[in-house]
A and B are shown apart, each in its own frame.
Chain A
Amino acid sequence: MKPKVIRYLDKGEFPIGEGEALALYRAMRRARFFDEKALLLQRQGRLGVYAPFMGQEAAQVGVALALGEKDFVVPSYRESAMLLARGLPIHTLILYWRAHPAGWRFPEGVRAVNPYIPIATQIPQAVGLALAGRYRGEGWVVATSIGDGGTSEGDFHEGLNFAAVFDAPVVFLVQNNGYAISVPRHRQMRVDYIARRAEGYGIPGVVVDGNDAFAVYLEAKKVVERARRGEGPTLLEALTYRLAPHTTSDDPSRYRTREEEEAWRAKDPILRLRKALEERGLWGVEAEEALLGELEEEFAREVALADQAPEPTPEMMVEHVYAQMGPDQRRAWEALRQGKHVEELW
């Protein structure tokens, strides 16, 4: 039996408060704005390789906004929208994608950790972080995210099994966008819905239309509360699609068709939510223009801030390897600071 895919949009349903709906829309639109600008910056050589998330805003923002203030997100490289929705300043995110050290240290109070590059390795760590919250009586919930391809990794399995055994307060968001770089889901696994895997760990698995912000947000709220009550982890599968390339170095025309992309473009999560807001008289052309104006200003301000970050110095390479520099870092640090290489100090 096929799992039920939870969906509200395009059926004329409006199951959440108007304020919440607007907050979702604004956060998604802001994220999309960032994504488009980031791609431009990358083409100008003002960003390193970048992983766009365009098309997956509902999944990422829906989960981020379902969390409480003290909860954490443990993201992967594609979760910039999630980080923005959690309050990471845009200039920090830009610096992160510039691989500038100032972007590696997140500001105090942002309850998110740096994105992970190796696939699936964050999963068991998220479980540990969730348990730490329980030990310390803080009761925070951790939301961590992974792609469909990532669920083939051993760490995905180990992490979910650990979470289940320890009843860890974790929400595992799987953004099933159909591809792991070029490899389609059916060459990645033989299950139709990834949420089915949850049963193998003895935890609930839920499937939502990942391009339906209402569905993601409402289900995420439920499973976050479930975790907070001490009832354990949930696997939340969001069916979605990335409209852009895997990264700025990728060429998706080699592995998917224009028709497929166009079909998904029609299901753009931002357009769908906007339509629902408009039908209810909550949004219109003017509101959209005002928002875009605000975003334009904010972005310009934040890029300027990022551009002001001082050039990284070579000795930064050997800083923060240990809490206190060991003799080997110390010697290298001295050399680099004097504009030398360590061999020149002998």
Chain B
Amino acid sequence: MVAEKARVLNLVQAINEALDLALARDERVLVFGEDVGRLGGVFRVTEGLQAKYGEGRVFDTPLAESGILGLAIGLAMGGMRPVAEIQFAGFLYPALDQILSHLGRWRHRSRGWVGLPVVVRAPYGGGVHTPEQHADSPEALLAHTPGIKVVIPSSPERAKGLLLAAIEDEDPVFFLEAIKLYRGVRAEVPEGYYTLPLGRARVVREGKHATLIGYGGMVEVMLEAATVAAKEGVQVMVVDLETLVPLDEDTLLEVVRETGRAVVVYEAMRTGGFGAEIAARIAEGAIDHLQAPVVRVAGYDAPYPPFSAIEHHYRPNARRVLAALRRVLTY
């Protein structure tokens, strides 16, 4: 169900529009977090929503992440559909206990009696010269938690439909928004209410020589590398995973089987990152089709560096992706 008219919006506007539509459509939807009300969020993602829906439905909480997650859990238990914002994904850590011990576990520990339709939105990732702790990519921590879903959109029109699907979903969904993309990407976004299914990876560029696999802020980096490679006659397939949990393993294996060579790109630290999961799945399911080892392009095993001076060394860029491509192509 996709509405016809489309306008060009950035990621912030698209997500704002999705929240607006969700609030209008379902009285049980609540939007809350630090500074989301009067200010409209530090990135203005919730701008105008409090004025439109009132302080009962869009509200500021005290500055306490565990409290925000706990509140969301209790609200969902009581039949509401909370959409909580954590100001930066790096500040999810104070709430990890609520997430790991409860949000992901309640349905299971109650044998399906208590389901928690909670959405947690959080900006993540680097590339915009933020201070310490503001660029973390904790998706692997979340993906490692049974019972929660993890969605990371890479474009405005996808973000809108995926967020609306996340809000409709009966399970807790983490919706991570790449800060670099907030105002850095613009695209045609259909008007009106529409959802896009969770749990599907999509091919954003076709190619037969190698496959690049990533998500969120890395999709544009992969596309940039693919464009450069094309000039050298190498056709690279680019896959946007979009949902990390549940993972679309079928699509993943299919595309790797087609090209026989794969590079996984993610901006978290390398060890134990989600790229390791992808590489392992490929090894388990498509080893016979591989013509080279799966190579990861990732952050370093160190905290994400604050401010601008050395950040670009940490966050994967097209140059590093091209180097990895060269490695798998010449193996």
* A interface list, Cβ under 8 A from B: 101-102, 104-106, 113-114, 118, 121, 123-133, 135-136, 154-155, 158-159, 161-162, 165, 319-324, 326-328, 346
Contacts and interface: CB of A to CB of B under 8 A. Distances in A.
Contacts of A129: 74-75, 77-78
Contacts of B101: 118, 121
Contact of A321 (B62, B74, B108): B108
Contacts of A326: 199, 245-246
Interface string B66-80: 110111111111111
B111 A124 contact: no
Contact of A320 (B70, B76, B111): B111
Given A155-B97, A162-B62, A320-B107, A133 B78 contact: yes
Given A129-B78, A322-B147, A104 B111 contact: yes
Interface in B61-102: 61-62, 64, 66-67, 69-80, 82, 94, 97-98, 101-102
A320 B250 CA distance: 23
B170 A323 contact: yes
A181 B246 CA distance: 40
Contact of B75 (A101, A106, A132): A132
A132 B77 contact: yes
B231 interface: no
Contact of A135 (B61, B80, B247): B80
A125 B147 contact: no
B113 interface: yes
A105 B107 CA distance: 10
Given A131-B74, A346-B284, A161 B64 contact: yes
Contacts of A130: 74, 78
Given A105-B110, A114-B110, A321-B147, A159 B78 contact: no
Nearest to B94: A154
Given A135-B80, A155-B97, A128 B71 contact: yes
A105 B111 contact: yes
Interface of B: 28, 30, 56, 61-62, 64, 66-67, 69-80, 82, 94, 97-98, 101-102, 107-115, 146-147, 149, 169-171, 199, 245-247, 249-250, 284
Contacts of B247: 327-328
B97 A320 contact: no
Q: For B56, B75, B107, B169, which residue has the most chain A Cβ atoms within 10 angstroms?
A: B75
Given A162-B64, A321-B147, A121 B70 contact: yes
A70 B128 CA distance: 50
Contact of A158 (B56, B67, B108, B170): B67
B67 A136 contact: no
A126 B247 CA distance: 33
11 contacts: A104-B113, A125-B73, A125-B74, A125-B102, A130-B78, A132-B78, A135-B30, A158-B66, A323-B115, A323-B169, A324-B170
A125 B71 CA distance: 5
Given A121-B70, A159-B67, A104 B78 contact: no
A317 to B, nearest CB: 9
Contacts of B98: 121, 124-125, 155
B108 A162 contact: no
Nearest to B64: A158
A322 B110 contact: no
A321 B107 contact: yes
Given A105-B110, A113-B114, A322-B147, A127 B284 contact: no
Given A158-B66, A320-B107, A322-B107, A327 B74 contact: no
Contact of B76 (A105, A127, A128, A136): A128
A155 B102 CA distance: 13
The 6 closest A-B pairs by CB, nearest first: A128-B74, A132-B78, A124-B70, A326-B246, A158-B67, A105-B111
Contacts of B28: 135
B107 A162 contact: no
Contacts of B64: 158, 161-162
Given A127-B74, A155-B70, A322-B246, 12 more contacts: A101-B111, A102-B111, A114-B109, A114-B114, A135-B28, A135-B30, A159-B70, A162-B64, A322-B107, A322-B171, A323-B115, A326-B199
A211 B149 CA distance: 46
B107 A131 contact: no
Contacts of A346: 284
Given A104-B110, A328-B247, A131 B78 contact: yes
Contact of B70 (A102, A128, A328): A128
Contacts of A128: 70-78, 82
Contact of B77 (A125, A155, A328): A125
B97 A118 contact: yes
Contacts of A323: 107, 112, 115, 169-171
Contacts of B112: 105, 319-320, 323
A113 B77 contact: yes
B67 A124 contact: yes
A124 B66 contact: yes
B67 A106 contact: no
A155 B171 CA distance: 23
Contacts of B109: 104, 114
Nearest to B147: A321
Nearest to B118: A128
Nearest to B57: A135
A295 B30 CA distance: 46
B80 A132 contact: yes
Given A154-B66, A326-B246, A126 B147 contact: no
A318 to B, nearest CB: 9
B45 to A, nearest CB: 22
A146 B114 CA distance: 21
A339 to B, nearest CB: 22
Contact of B74 (A114, A132, A155, A319): A132
Contacts of B79: 132, 136
